[in-house]
């Protein structure tokens, strides 16, 4: 597939997990990829290098960048670097997330600030800084949400941030339509990534779920690729739930 041939995508948090799968899928569809993570040392650096190598093996260009999305200044530098490396930006996938797993009574002020600064401010900074590039040729924004936006999960204060962001995506779809920029979200079910390992420790009941309850990073990436491509142009400000039906069956365990 070459629906994104000649295009450039920035996937925040694409050193590992779902972001990495999205970066690879968009590369398969023809896009050159700006791989992004928060840290440029240790395992994060190694993961960024590995993501770039996997994309290059698909015949696409990939460069790695670091920025803490909670910092407007770092996001500004990130977008400048992407522009000077690739000369354009067509697809912005807002995938990076970082949050404490704590119930409300235990949230410290610094936890709350990190929660909002990364998972709300961070995405808004990315859109503000990327917009001049995205609006040049009708860009697309795809936000990665989770079922916490609509169902309570224990010790998961990220859920309310996801709910706010799904509303933000609706807002962007209307605000940016005139500039030719589309915005939608993908709400992923349970995906076995690094952050899932922490959730699993805090929420042992997850261990009782059959394998069929889990979505793979590639299944999430397939839907992101659709929303990044021209065929989805009439979908505006929506959140597509990609959970293998888990949220349809709250009263019943999914079948194996």
Ligand X SMILES: NC(=O)c1ccc[n+]([C@@H]2O[C@H](COP(=O)([O-])OP(=O)(O)OC[C@H]3O[C@@H](n4cnc5c(N)ncnc54)[C@H](OP(=O)(O)O)[C@@H]3O)[C@@H](O)[C@H]2O)c1
7 is catalytic: no
Annotated catalytic residue 162: yes
Residues in region 12-31 near ligand X by CB under 6 A:
12-13, 15-19
Binding window for ligand X (CB under 6 A); candidates: 35-43, 102-110, 169-177, 205-213: 35-43
Could you tell me the smallest distance in angstroms from the CB atom of residue 252 to ligand X?
21
In the complex, least distance from residue 247 CB atom to ligand X, rounded to whole angstroms: 11
Using CA of residue 68, residue 143, residue 129, residue 21, what is the dihedral sign? positive
With respect to ligand X, which residue has the nearer C-beta, 133 or 144? 144
Sign of CA dihedral 181, 186, 192, 193: positive
Closest CB to ligand X among 31 and 241?
Answer: 241
Binding mask 54-83 for ligand X (x = CB under 6 A): --------------xxx-------------
The residues, any chain, with a CB within 8 Å of residue 169's CB and separated by 6 or more, are: 141, 143, 183, 184, 185, 237, 239
The 3-class secondary structure across 101-168, one letter per residue, is: CCCHHHCCHHHHHHHHHHHHHHHHHHHHHHHHHHCCCCCEEEEEEEHHHCCCCCCCCHHHHHHHHHHH
193 binds ligand X (CB under 6 A): yes
How far is it, in rounded angstroms, from Cα 239 to Cα 246?
Answer: 16
Asked if residue 182 lies in contact with residue 173, where contact means CB atoms within 8 angstroms, the answer is yes
If binding is defined by CB under 6 A, does position 52 make contact with ligand X? no
Map the footprint of ligand X across residues 115-134, applying CB under 6 A.
118
Residue 97 within binding range of ligand X, rule CB under 6 A? yes
Of 102, 156, 197, 214, which one is the catalytic site residue? 156
Residue whose CB is less far from ligand X, 181 or 188: 188
Contact residues: ligand X, CB under 6 A: 12-13, 15-19, 37-39, 44, 47, 68-70, 95-98, 118, 144, 146, 188, 190-191, 193-196
Which residues have a catalytic role annotated?
156, 162
């Amino acid at each position: 597939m070459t629906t994104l041939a000649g295009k450039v995508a920035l996937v925040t948090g694409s050193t590992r997990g779902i972001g990495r799968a999205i970066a690879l899928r968009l590369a398969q569809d023809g896009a050159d990829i700006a791989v992004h993570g928060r840290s440029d040392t240790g395992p994060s650096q190694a993961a960024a290098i590995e993501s770039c190598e996997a994309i290059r093996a698909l015949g696409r260009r990939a460069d790695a960048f670091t920025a803490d999305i909670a910092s407007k200044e770092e996001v500004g530098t990130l977008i400048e670097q992407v522009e000077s490396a690739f000369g354009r930006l067509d697809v912005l996938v807002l995938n990076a997330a970082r949050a404490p797993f704590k119930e409300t009574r235990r949230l410290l002020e610094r936890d709350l600030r990190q929660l909002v600064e990364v998972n709300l401010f961070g995405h808004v900074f990315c859109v503000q800084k990327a917009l001049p590039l995205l609006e040049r040729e009708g860009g697309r924004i795809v936000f990665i949400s989770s079922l916490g936006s609509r169902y309570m999960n224990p010790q998961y204060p990220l859920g309310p941030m996801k709910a706010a962001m799904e509303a933000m995506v609706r807002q962007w779809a209307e605000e940016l339509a005139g500039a030719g920029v589309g915005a939608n979200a993908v709400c992923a079910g349970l995906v076995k990534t690094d952050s899932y390992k922490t959730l699993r420790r805090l929420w042992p009941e997850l261990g009782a779920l059959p394998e069929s309850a889990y979505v793979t990073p590639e299944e999430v990436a397939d839907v992101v690729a659709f929303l990044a491509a021209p065929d989805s142009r009439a979908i505006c400000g929506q959140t597509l739930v990609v959970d293998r039906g888990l949220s349809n069956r709250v009263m019943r365990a999914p079948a194996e």
